[in-house]
Structure formats: C-alpha cells, structure tokens
Amino acid sequence: MTHLDGLVRIVRELRVERANLVNELKHVDAALAVLGKLDGGSSYTKPRRKLSASARKRISLAQKKRWAQPRNGSKPAATTALVKRTRKISSAGKKRIAAAARVRWAKFRAAKKAV
C-alpha cells in the first residue's frame, strides 16, 4: 500500500509542475504578442513569395541541366576561362635559386660552428 501512496504523490507533483509550466507558457505567449505589435506586424516571419508551377518547372529543368554538365564531361564556358596556367621556371632560374640556397646554408653552418 505504501508503494501506491508514493506513486500517487509523484503523480500529484507532476500535475502541479505541468500547471506551472502551462502558466509560464501563457506568460511567454503574452510577451510575444506584445513584442510582435511593437514592430508594426506580427511576431512571425513574413510569408514567402509563391512561384507558379510553370516557373518551378523551368527552374527545376535548368538546375538539372547544370547538374548534368559535369557528368557528361562538358564544362560551361565561364569556368574554363577561370583556369589558371601554372608557371614554369627556367633552368637558369633554378640554378640561381640553388646557388642562393647553398650560400644561405653555408652561412648557417658557419654560424653554428662559431657558437
């Protein structure tokens, strides 16, 4: 019997908690209603524009066409113009860079021996 008394007490506490939460929700709704009137409209976002069925169909077909281009191996003309060429260095330039690196490393080793 004591087990049922504990269960009844828990149910009663849950009902009290539910009543408190409902009361708090009413206060939140009232605050939203007041704040929504301050900006001149409702507290909800504005409805989105509606597209006709034919406009949605045209947009859908255009998007499918764009998706199909990479799969078919063709590339749009706009993206091919953006491809950047890689620079190539001459053999004389490579030799100058290598010589400068040897000089830097020689200075580094000399400074290391001096210490």
Q: How confident is the model at residue 44 (pLDDT cuts 50, 70, 90)?
A: low
Please compute Rg for the chain using Cα positions: 37
Average pLDDT of 20-39?
Answer: 85
Give me the domain span that covers residue 4: 1-44
Report percent pLDDT > 90 for the chain. Answer: 50
pLDDT given at position 35: 80
In a domain, 102, yes or no: no
Per-residue pLDDT reduced to its tens digit, 87-113: 899 999 999 999 999 999 999 999 999
In a domain, 38, yes or no: yes
- Residue tagged 């260095």 (tokens): 89
In a domain, 64, yes or no: no
Instruction: State how many domains the chain has.
Output: 1
Report percent pLDDT > 70 for the chain. Answer: 81
Q: Who wins on pLDDT, 92 or 6?
A: 92
Q: How far is it, in rounded angstroms, from Cα 108 to Cα 104?
A: 6
- Among 31-35, 75-79, 90-94, the minimum mean pLDDT is found in 75-79
Q: How far is it, in rounded angstroms, from Cα 42 to Cα 64?
A: 38
In a domain, 105, yes or no: no
The residue among 59, 39, 40 whose CA lies nearest residue 49 is 59
Please give the model's pTM, rounded to 2 decimal places.
0.30
In a domain, 29, yes or no: yes
Query: For residue 82, what is the DSSP state?
Result: T
